[in-house]
Amino acid sequence: MRIGVLCSGGDSPGMNAAIRGAVLRGVDVHGFEMLGFMDGWRGFHDGEYLPLDRLAVRGLSPRGGVILGTSRVPPFPGGRGTPEALRSVAERFRALGLDGLLLIGGNGTQTVARMLSDAGMPVIGLPKTIDNDLDGTDYTFGFDTAVSIAAEAIDRLRTTGESHRRCMVLEVMGRDAGWIALHAGMAGGAQLTLVPEFPETIEQISEWVLSVRDRGRSSLVVVAEGFRLAGSEAGAVGTQVTREGHDGFGRPRLGGVAEVLAPLIEEHAGVETRATVLGHVQRGGPPTAFDRVLATRTGIAAADAVARGQWGMMAGLRGDRIELVPFVEAVGRLKTVPAARYAEARRNFG
Ligand code: F6P
């Protein structure tokens, strides 16, 4: 069998480990011929690919980024999944002599995987995103690494913040979900955690900052990039926190919320405040051991699914097991932070 591997969307630590897992299992155990498309859908459409064998994936588990490259180039010519566009992807599929395709990606990619699968193409999804916002899996690889880096940033910001008795605001990624902020905030003992799912007013935030100061402490605020202020300030801040441009899928680029929030806290609470935007640091570098193991197991499960002909599924983590989940259970809605989880982290009395 000739099996393609394609990565789409932002990179996520563990992608290389997933490719290695799929190739070692697919080539050595199942006897597949495997190839990886360069830069996502661009390589698929241009016919540019890397043969994937044991040698090609040697030593990949600890390496960040992804050897194949990834991009947000849309799968469909013209950018829309019309019947004609789907047909042209199917034609390309045949022209490349593929018997199956492993799609490594987040929400957008798994949605595309579902469309291709519904159109009759043999596809298996491997969920990845640092945002952890995909349904049908308990965790996505890359998330644990991003959280670890964000937690370390909190540890570092705390000591400088305390030395100057400042309030420190750390912005982390996560797009429309607050998972990275929630986990990093709890791991690092942040006093306030702000997530997109639960807007707070600037008055409430300032009150918390002041009560932390009254207890002789300096506040560490972790804010997810998709957070919006509730109340009267929301409109003004909402427009400022969306940076110019889009992310390649036509969605507005997020970020910049910390730089807006910090002066507002200073103004309302009268506490000197500094902002740090963690940015792509949280997506780069070697994956944690947890992400390496999760990604490797996901790759192995995907190769086994191909061998069994279980197409149209995503290899998700359920408890301790990698299970094949129908796309319909994984895509279509975002996995967001539930109220009970937010209640645990909303305000730590550090
Ligand atoms: O989806 C992953 C993610 O890192 C988001 O958390 C973030 O909003 C976005 O990608 C950033 O995208 P880019 O790397 O294209 O700026």
The distance of Cα 177 from the centroid of its chain, to the nearest Å, equals: 10
Structure-block tokens of residue 45: 């459409």
- For 176-189, how does the pLDDT look when each residue is reduced to its tens digit (9 = 90+)? 999 999 999 999 99
pTM (2 d.p.): 0.94
Evaluate: CB of 174 within 6 angstroms of ligand 1: yes
Q: Do residues 189 and 294 lie in contact, with contact meaning Cβ atoms separated by under 8 Å?
A: no
Q: Do residues 328 and 338 lie in contact, with contact meaning Cβ atoms separated by under 8 Å?
A: no
Evaluate: CB of 172 within 6 angstroms of ligand 1: no
d(CA 350, CA 222): 13
Residue range 132-151: average pLDDT? 97
For a pocket test of ligand 1, which of 247, 278, 336 has the largest count of ligand atoms closer than 8 A to its C-beta?
247
CA–centroid distance, 55 to ligand 1, in Å, is: 31
Q: What angle do CA 149, 151, 152 make, to 5 degrees?
A: 65
Q: Is 131 annotated in the active site?
A: yes
pLDDT of residue 252: 63
d(CA 166, CA 186): 20
- Pick the catalytic residue from 39, 131, 133, 304: 131
Q: Select from 239, 223, 243, 146 the least CA-distant residue to 178.
A: 223
- For 33-68, how does the pLDDT look when each residue is reduced to its tens digit (9 = 90+)? 999 999 999 999 999 999 999 999 999 999 999 999
